[in-house]
Structure 1
């Protein structure tokens, strides 16, 4: 239970009581990221479902607000940092990492974050009420991916990209992947697109950055979520 609380404290803005934890406990919290994702999914899907019947755009906006509020825009920050690094760096990996570490927000970050929010808004508008449970599952499935990135990508530096590594194994990834497969087959086979999106992002990180960092995790979660929404909207 401690590890689940830590995962919720890290990934959401729920008002939870503090718990005593060491580095080992914090690392093990990653095993529960998908469960925390269900909370995020509920926070997005409930207002969307309640208001979608009155007006599709109103429902989409309510869902997006719930999505951002429950996470505190945590992953959007990582997406912005990666966008600044990829857009402004022309001197190789070291330059890219230096730009990502800069606390200032550049124009690339602003543009990409705005596009990400607009994409989610439009995609939420395009969903049908029958897909509400699939929407709940989207953030949960996207938070399985960091387990794989942690296991198979080298850490760029000491930080969030490395602190979780001792807490997860290939068994955790296999079990959550099987759960994702079952959810996709039960709710919407289009959700299987998450596996491809996670693999492509991991490949991009390895090629451009050389490994994983906290920003890489955050950006990847955002992009996998969007990929899953696109798959749901485009599925026949």
Structure 2
């Protein structure tokens, strides 16, 4: 099996210096979704490795540095989706066409900025709580689950934004293999123990509710709403694990 779709996923989801020898075909773009959970696992592993040399620092400084690296390595890609979705959801006033139009606007409004501040603040506080008691598992699970639920949403929900890379991915995703890959990663998360099981349960409930809200407002999902789900999923996993270890 060609690893080119993995390189496509790495280039799209991270700031790692991945150079593609050519543009991906539509089929390769679709198959890159198979690798999203693996990329999330790799991001989590990076965070776990980074935490070790930071152990001598205060929990708040550790959390700040870990979160800064987290945002940097992911390129802030999903934070952008969160801001766009928040602006559109508030400004759309329940109208689907207006919501989609605002979401396409590259400018970030005050509600979008507020959502970024709140999500990053909650992530920082949860990370500080976790590193204070040396609970590194959240660093692994949060980005892993965030990039596990994203292809699950795209697989199960109609894509309503015509054109662009997102539509190409959805139309060409391997619908036979994707559920198998997601199941495999889900079983691997269960191997982590009770924390992994509870994290999966929380994200499945969140994903189900998220999908219902999107269908009610938009009739489906977009790249921005999928990216926003990644951020909220990461936030929820960290808060849930911090609550369990308090």
Say yes or no: TM over 0.5.
yes
RMSD of equivalent CA atoms: 1.8
CA contact (8 A) 1:52 1:58 kept: no
Shift of 1:140: 1.4
CA contact (8 A) 1:147 1:173 kept: no
Q: Give the secondary structure class of the aligned counterpart of 1:19.
A: coil
Aligned position for 2:20 = 18
Shift of 1:185: 4.3
Higher RCO (CA-CA < 8 Å; seq separation 6+):
2
Q: 1:80 to 1:181 in 2, by over 3 A?
A: same
Counterpart pick for 2:144 among 140, 143, 146: 140
Unaligned runs of 5+ in 1: none
Aligned position for 2:168 = 163
Q: Give the secondary structure class of the aligned counterpart of 2:220.
A: coil
Structure 2: distance between partners of 1:203 and 1:168:
24
- Once the two structures are superposed, the pairs formed by residues 1-236 of structure 1 within 5 Å of their partners are 1-20=3-22, 21-90=24-93, 92-128=95-131, 130-158=134-162, 159-165=164-170, 166-169=172-175, 171-187=177-193, 188=195, 189-192=197-200, 193-235=202-244
CA contact (8 A) 2:83 2:111 kept: yes
Q: 1:26 to 1:213 in 2, by over 3 A?
A: same
Q: 1:185 to 1:52 in 2, by over 3 A?
A: same
Shift of 1:121: 0.5
CA contact (8 A) 1:83 1:109 kept: yes
CA contact (8 A) 1:151 1:168 kept: no
Task: Identify which range, 36-45 or 99-108, moves more after superposition.
Answer: 36-45
The runs of 4+ residues in structure 1 deviating greater than 6 Å are none
Q: Give the secondary structure class of the aligned counterpart of 1:201.
A: helix
What TM-score do you get using the length of structure 1 for normalisation? Answer: 0.92
Shift of 1:46: 3.2
What TM-score do you get using the length of structure 2 for normalisation? Answer: 0.88
- Counting matched residue pairs gives 236
Q: 1:196 to 1:178 in 2, by over 3 A?
A: farther
The superposition leaves residues 85-128 of structure 1 with CA deviations (integer Å, 9 ceiling, x where unpaired) of 01112251111111111121100100001111111101100114
Q: Give the secondary structure class of the aligned counterpart of 2:121.
A: helix
Unaligned runs of 5+ in 2: none
Structure 1: distance between partners of 2:7 and 2:16:
10
The superposition leaves residues 131-180 of structure 1 with CA deviations (integer Å, 9 ceiling, x where unpaired) of 31342132112111122211221111223432212223254224323422
Q: 1:46 to 1:61 in 2, by over 3 A?
A: farther
